[in-house]
């Protein structure tokens, strides 16, 4: 254990020392200095292996805690490792089902499709037809992807967590620990990993997404084969398509980028503003463009949720942002837990308004630039950003990035406008709200007439 702790300290120390040299020992401009250290931290996490890769992925969805430069640098972490021997994968399948893979599937390939730190994916075909929870029947012989948790992954994670708990206990007593709840963050990380090694969680969320978008011919989620799914094995329909890094091939095949970019942005807005559940880890590796021009959504490991009243406030914040109204945006942000103290309210509003003018008035709007600047303003003024708010901002920026891979000039805020407008209108016309507000409106009208 001590040797592992020493290695962690040595890798971080070496990377940060290099960053100090590159940033001229703090003499570089602040933005460049922060970006240099963020890059060094990301490289250290890659070098330290799977647990730190997963830790970096958690950092990448917490802009409410970490600096924007670090958050967006951690997006680039690659979770690819050397494949396991097929015998180990077969052993897990035998333990979960009590049968050989060939008894469960018509075919099963020992050659993996992908190999990551927690699980490995193998191609197979169904032995018999399967009726999924939602969607059309998968016929016998249908191609499926079998995701298998690496043997010992849970135990390895537990060992690393024990080491990290010792480190964070020491860190909690430092000035950093008094500013950030590092022990709470670690427990959140542990819970996230616990959910990830139980593949039934991912299967349930995928089924829910398929149901929510059952009327959408473009948004698509692979069907889950529950009879071949357990805690450690997940079997889903196999999807062929282009990754977002291969879109040049798709365009050459005749795919219309603008329509898909717009649709992808609308799917996100519908998740946030209508369903109240959104895919919060939507990086390019989790999206595929299929040859029949559908967008396939994969890997529902991190999901954000919003109550109906929160959705209405998010809609108001989005509309205020679209129209560049800083005061209104901050007023409704307060309803979501982002409260700017009164004594600094005017200064913060002024800076947010200037940021809006600089980033959102251009064509197309620079949502990532606005989000990064907004979070920096809040951080500089000591305004706490609630987790749900930060996750939403991060997800919006990621969707903008993915949409621009389809079509570089897409304006995601304009795509949000119809959904936000409709939700606000529905809230205003809600019978309960009208019944509550009508007497006040009548009294105000009478006072006006008699004055």
User: Which residue numbers are catalytic?
Assistant: 281
DSSP character at residue 131: -
Q: How far apart are the first and last CA of the chain?
A: 80
Residue with tokens 């089902």: 97
Backbone angles phi, psi at 121, to 5 degrees: -115, 130
Question: By C-alpha distance, which of 398, 395, 353, 394 is closest to 375?
Answer: 394
Beta pairing, strands 295-297 & 219-220: parallel
Kindly list the distances between the CA atom of residue 389 and the CA atoms of 166, 264, 265, 287, 331, in Å, as whole numbers in the listed order: 30, 21, 18, 23, 14
List of long-range contacts for 267-271, beta carbons under 8 Å, 24+ apart: 267/213, 267/216, 267/218, 267/219, 267/295, 268/395, 268/396, 268/399, 269/415, 269/416, 269/419, 269/420, 270/213, 270/419, 271/212
Residue written as tokens 């507000």? 437
- The tokens describing 200, both together, are 């039934």
Burial of 183 (0-12, 13-18, 19+ CB in 10 A): middle
Whether residue 364 has a cis bond before it, omega within 30° of 0: yes
**Residue 364 near residue 370 (C-beta atoms within 8 A):** no
Distance, in Å, from the CA atom of 72 to the CA atom of 63, rounded to the nearest integer, reads 9
DSSP secondary structure letters along 394-441: HHHHHHHHHHHHH-TT--HHHHHHHHHHHHHHHHHT-HHHHHHHHHHH
> Do the beta carbons of residue 347 and residue 382 sit within 8 Å?
no
Residue 242 backbone phi and psi in degrees, to 5: -95, 140
**Per-residue tokens: 8:** 């962690």
Residue 38 in tokens = 């963020």
Q: Which two tokens stand for residue 321?
A: 């942002």
Contact in structure between 315 and 420 (CB atoms under 8 Å): yes
């Amino acid at each position: 254990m001590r040797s592992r702790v020493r290695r962690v300290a040595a890798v971080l120390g070496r990377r940060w020392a290099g960053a100090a040299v590159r940033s001229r020992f703090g003499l570089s401009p602040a933005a460049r200095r922060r970006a240099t250290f963020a890059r060094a931290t990301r490289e250290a996490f890659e070098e330290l292996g799977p647990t730190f890769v997963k830790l970096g992925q958690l950092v990448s969805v917490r802009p409410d805690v970490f600096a924007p430069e670090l958050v967006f640098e951690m997006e680039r972490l690659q979770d690819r490792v050397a494949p396991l021997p097929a015998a180990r994968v077969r052993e897990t399948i035998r333990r979960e089902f009590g049968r050989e893979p060939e008894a469960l599937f018509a075919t099963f390939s020992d050659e993996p499709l992908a190999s990551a730190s927690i699980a490995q994916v193998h191609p197979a075909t169904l032995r018999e037809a399967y009726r999924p929870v939602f969607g059309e029947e998968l016929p016998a012989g249908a191609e499926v992807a079998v995701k298998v948790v690496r043997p010992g992954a849970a135990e390895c994670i537990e060992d690393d967590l024990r080491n990290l708990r010792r480190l964070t206990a020491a860190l909690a007593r430092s000035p950093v620990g008094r500013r950030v709840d590092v022990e709470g963050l670690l427990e959140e990380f542990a819970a996230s990993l616990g959910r990830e090694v139980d593949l039934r969680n991912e299967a349930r969320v995928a089924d829910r997404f398929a149901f929510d978008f059952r009327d959408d011919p473009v948004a698509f989620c692979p069907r889950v084969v529950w009879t071949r799914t357990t805690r450690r094995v997940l079997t889903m329909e196999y999807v062929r398509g282009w990754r977002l890094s291969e879109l040049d091939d798709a365009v050459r095949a005749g795919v219309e980028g603008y329509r898909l970019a717009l649709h992808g942005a609308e799917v996100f807005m519908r998740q946030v503003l209508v369903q109240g559940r959104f895919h919060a880890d939507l990086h390019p590796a989790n999206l595929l463009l299929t040859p029949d021009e559908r967008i396939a959504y994969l890997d529902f490991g991190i999901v954000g949720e919003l109550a109906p009243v929160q959705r209405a406030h998010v809609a108001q914040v989005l509309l205020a942002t679209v129209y560049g109204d800083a005061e209104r945006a901050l007023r409704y942000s307060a309803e979501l837990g982002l409260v700017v103290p009164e004594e600094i309210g005017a200064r913060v509003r002024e800076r947010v308004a200037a940021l809006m003018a600089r980033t959102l008035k251009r064509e197309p709007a620079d949502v990532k630039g606005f989000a990064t600047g907004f979070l920096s303003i809040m951080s500089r003024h000591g305004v706490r950003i609630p987790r749900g708010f930060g996750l939403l901002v991060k997800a919006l920026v990621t969707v903008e990035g993915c949409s621009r891979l389809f079509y570089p000039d897409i304006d995601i805020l304009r795509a949000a406008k119809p959904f936000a407008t409709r939700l606000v209108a529905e809230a205003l016309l809600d019978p309960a709200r009208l019944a509550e507000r009508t007497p006040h409106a009548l009294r105000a009208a009478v006072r006006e007439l008699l004055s």
